[in-house]
Amino acid sequence: MAKGKYHHIVREALESDGWVITHDPFKIMVGRRKGYIDLGAELIAAEKKELKIAVEIKSFLGASDFGSI
């Protein structure tokens, strides 16, 4: 799977902010459609609840598979 133009920059920014990248890419199913979001990450800190995010990185050079969902 090809990485987008800014993939590594966003990943490095998330990691430097304390996020742990758990999936690169993150597989997602919507009904019968299967696709991938660029990154899955979680942040675990003593003073916060466990947070998890999925990050779709777009440079607006092409359409997202999930843009119309």
Q: pLDDT digits over 7-39, tens only?
A: 889 889 989 988 888 888 888 888 898 888 887
67: amino acid identity, one letter: G
Say whether pLDDT at 64 is over 70: no
Measure Cα distances from 5 to 45, 50, 60, 62 in Å.
30, 29, 10, 11
Cβ atoms of 21 and 40 closer than 8 Å: yes
Closest CA to 53 of 39, 36, 33: 39
pLDDT at 42: 80
Say whether pLDDT at 68 is over 60: no
